[in-house]
Amino acid sequence: MKDVRIQHHNFGPLLSNYRGAYSLGLKISHFAILTPGSKQFLIEVKSIAINPLDYFQRYIGYHIEAYPGVIGSDVGGTVIAAGFLVSADLKPGTRVSVFAPSFLSGGPPNYGVFQERTLLVPIATIFARTGFVYQLGVPIGANVGTTVIQIAKALGFTTYVIASEKHHDYLKGLGADRLFGHKSSNLVNDIDDVVKKDGAMAQLAYHTSGNLEDTFKVLQKVKGGDKARVASAPPLAEAILPAKGTALNVIYRPTPTPGPNELLIEVKAIALNPVDWYQRHIGVTVESYPAIIGSDVAGIVAAVGSDVAADAPQPGTRVAAFAPSYFAKGAPDYGAFQERVLVPASYVVPIPNTLNFNEASMLPLGVLTAWAGFFQAGIALETKYVSEDRQEVLIWGGSSSVGSSAIQIAKSLGFYVYVTASEKHHGYLKTLGADKLFEYKSPDVVENIVKAAKEDQVTIQVGYDAVGQLKECQEILQKTKAEGPARLASAVPLTEDSPKAEGVIVKFVEAEDDAEKTNELIHFVYRVWLKERLEKGEYTPSPKMQIVEGGLEAMEKGLDEWKKGVSAVKIVIEV
């Protein structure tokens, strides 16, 4: 056999760097070829297939540890050299199809496929087999979808496949047993009918594109006695923040996998909050970029971590969730502004069928912030007053998201509730539980509230300023409190110039330094208090809703709309 001569320079496009969501581009360069290690072989590349993963590596630096790098995964070519421990059937001259490990190795130049020669079976097979092994638990020792069909058929499964009707004949040739049009208005029932006629039980599903909701509906109808399992492969869209103060850009990246105590939520609706604007424009709590921000979501549980308790929401459950972008410092997996988001299991509350996703998305942060204010003002979680206790609370800014939540919480705790708001909102706030309402614009509003408290023969020891009117709130508490200091929770950050008043302790509502206390509160709010109220129909998502159309692409518009100023509404974006 003739010796194989290896040239000492390689040729290919180097990825020089990336900035936020923008690649600085691929540059054709020459660089040295490494000699194969003992278990490696060198491929002369003849053709390259492009995958979604290549896009993620180029545009967001996914799994790239250092630059310059060479990316890409799928390659066909010829073996030109092999290490001494490589199997004899991969000798020089062998024609091969190879998965190049750029993704696994961090992007060093000699391991990506975007070049003439690469060190080490294509990525579709790897993803398909990985889904069966790790997510579906099948023991086997959108090209992912076509590969899944063939693997499932080889394993002896009857395959039920959803796809565009124009592809049905081709997919039948790959092994699909039953095919259904993905645009069918009666898809779930169509599959249910066929499965029952076949006498089959659907135990496994492999979701490679589109909406997970129908997948869960099908499995819930036709699964056998055991728990059905779903593997999900599609990339997710996200509105990424490339740098502080910049515009959000919608890009795609791989779907994250939940950690042991996390849930993966397929997002159906996102509600906007003031903290979203602060994170976007001044980088509040964001440690590095690109980042994904946002807190309020509603959707469907898509997957659960290995240690998630059985009583936590399981796949297919409709939920509202607090996405912990604030606590996670903007880490991409945990921001609300995307199609799928990871959240701790205790940050989620199941929602009844009487609530739609848009309404449910308004719940998480408003309720948590309102409860946190009362908690930090010394109100115990188990508090329950009766009318004879004559306990009163002042809520300034009742028509805001936090204010309207505070009204409902205070009422459930047995407080007599004084509320300030624009007179046009008084009727609505009365339905939420406000006992007495005062026009906040009145020049006599402070005197009116003090007079009412004296007439009602009550003292006010607790206040909640939802909109930043500290001076007025402090004056009222000073004049109406009993012995000892009154406590005022402020939803607006405090500064050195914030007004102060003797006998009134003011605290900005934020996460406790004690992580155990914070987790205790969050678990109580979502898994106990709000869960029970929603089940009984005793909590109303508030304030009123304003929908901004356009999905993730409309995030910029929604934030700008909030900045212009909205009154007694919460902006919601359908995903």
The reported pLDDT for the residue numbered 75 is: 76
Q: Label residues 435-465 b or e (16+ Cβ within 10 Å = b).
A: bbbbebeeeebbebbbebbeeeebbbbbbbb
The reported pLDDT for the residue numbered 500 is: 92
- Residue 175 DSSP class: T
The reported pLDDT for the residue numbered 252 is: 80
Residue with structure tokens 């996703």? 357
- Residue 396 DSSP class: E
Banded pLDDT at 113 (limits 50, 70, 90):
low
Close Cβ partners of 179 (under 8 Å, ≥ 6 residues apart): 161, 162, 163, 165, 168, 171, 172
Q: Cβ(75)–Cβ(100) under 8 Å? A: yes
- Burial class of residue 49, CB neighbours in 10 A (0-12, 13-18, 19+): middle
Comparison of pLDDT for 411 and 83, the residue scoring more: 411
Q: Which of 87-96, 149-158, 239-248, 433-442 has the highest mean pLDDT?
A: 433-442
Whether residue 4 is predicted with pLDDT greater than 50 in this model: the reply is no
Q: Cβ(269)–Cβ(358) under 8 Å? A: yes
Q: What is the mean pLDDT of residues 131-145?
A: 49
Banded pLDDT at 22 (limits 50, 70, 90):
very low
The reported pLDDT for the residue numbered 105 is: 60
C-alpha torsion sign, points 324, 523, 533, 458: negative
The amino acid that residue 38 corresponds to is S
The reported pLDDT for the residue numbered 27 is: 58
Please give the backbone phi and psi of residue 445, each rounded to the nearest 5 degrees, phi first: -60, -40
* CA distances from residue 189 to 196, 219, 402, 458 in whole angstroms, order as listed: 10, 11, 42, 60
Least confident among 5-9, 178-182, 436-440:
5-9
Residue with structure tokens 């945990």? 334
**Collapsing DSSP states into helix, strand and coil, what is residue 513?**
coil
Q: Cβ(77)–Cβ(32) under 8 Å? A: no
Whether residue 393 is predicted with pLDDT greater than 90 in this model: the reply is yes
Q: Tell me the longest C-alpha to C-alpha distance in the chain.
A: 106
Whether residue 11 is predicted with pLDDT greater than 50 in this model: the reply is no
Comparison of pLDDT for 261 and 18, the residue scoring more: 261
Banded pLDDT at 398 (limits 50, 70, 90):
very high
**Collapsing DSSP states into helix, strand and coil, what is residue 479?**
helix
- Residue 417 DSSP class: E
* Angstrom distance (rounded) from CA 304 to CA 309: 9
The amino acid that residue 413 corresponds to is L
The reported pLDDT for the residue numbered 124 is: 46
The reported pLDDT for the residue numbered 208 is: 63
Q: What is the mean pLDDT of residues 192-205?
A: 73
Whether residue 51 is predicted with pLDDT greater than 80 in this model: the reply is no
Q: Which helix (H) or strand (E) holds 52?
A: helix 52-60
Whether residue 79 is predicted with pLDDT greater than 50 in this model: the reply is yes
Q: Which helix (H) or strand (E) holds 62?
A: none
Q: Report DSSP letters for 186-205, one per residue.
A: THHHHHHHHHHHHT----EE
Banded pLDDT at 238 (limits 50, 70, 90):
confident
Comparison of pLDDT for 403 and 79, the residue scoring more: 403
Q: What is the mean pLDDT of residues 322-347?
A: 96
Close Cβ partners of 534 (under 8 Å, ≥ 6 residues apart): 349, 350, 351, 352, 355
Q: Cβ(80)–Cβ(92) under 8 Å? A: yes
CB atoms < 10 A from the CB of 422, how many?
Answer: 16
Per-residue pLDDT tens over the stretch 264-276: 999 999 999 999 9
Q: What is the mean pLDDT of residues 430-458?
A: 96
**Collapsing DSSP states into helix, strand and coil, what is residue 233?**
coil
* Angstrom distance (rounded) from CA 299 to CA 316: 9
Close Cβ partners of 372 (under 8 Å, ≥ 6 residues apart): 489, 509, 510, 511, 521
The reported pLDDT for the residue numbered 303 is: 92
The reported pLDDT for the residue numbered 229 is: 64
Domains in the chain, start-ordered, CATH in brackets?
A: 40-122 (no CATH), 142-222 (3.40.50.720), 236-360 (3.90.180.10), 368-508 (3.40.50.720)
Residue with structure tokens 């050195």? 496
Banded pLDDT at 464 (limits 50, 70, 90):
very high
* CA distances from residue 19 to 58, 181, 184, 290, 382 in whole angstroms, order as listed: 10, 41, 42, 8, 50
Determine what percent of the chain is predicted with pLDDT higher than 90.
49
- Which two structure tokens, joined as six digits, stand for 51? 């995958």
Banded pLDDT at 68 (limits 50, 70, 90):
confident
Comparison of pLDDT for 442 and 98, the residue scoring more: 442
Beta strands 436-439 and 416-421 are parallel
**Residues 413, 415, 417: CA angle, nearest 5 degrees:** 125
Q: How does the average pLDDT of the chain come out, rounded?
A: 83
Cα 120 from chain centroid (whole Å): 35
Please give the backbone phi and psi of residue 218, each rounded to the nearest 5 degrees, phi first: -60, -50
CB atoms < 10 A from the CB of 133, how many?
Answer: 14
Length of the chain: 575
Whether residue 21 is predicted with pLDDT greater than 50 in this model: the reply is no
* pTM for this model (two decimals): 0.70
End-to-end CA distance of the chain: 61
Cis peptide before 543 (omega within 30 of 0): yes
Q: Cβ(97)–Cβ(122) under 8 Å? A: yes
Banded pLDDT at 71 (limits 50, 70, 90):
confident
Whether residue 451 is predicted with pLDDT greater than 50 in this model: the reply is yes
* Angstrom distance (rounded) from CA 132 to CA 140: 8
Per-residue pLDDT tens over the stretch 493-525: 898 899 999 999 999 998 877 888 899 999 999
Q: Report DSSP letters for 245-303, one per residue.
A: TPPPEEEEEPPPPP-TTEEEEEEEEEE--HHHHHHHHH-TT--SSSB----EEEEEEEE
- Which two structure tokens, joined as six digits, stand for 266? 């397929």
Q: Cβ(470)–Cβ(498) under 8 Å? A: yes
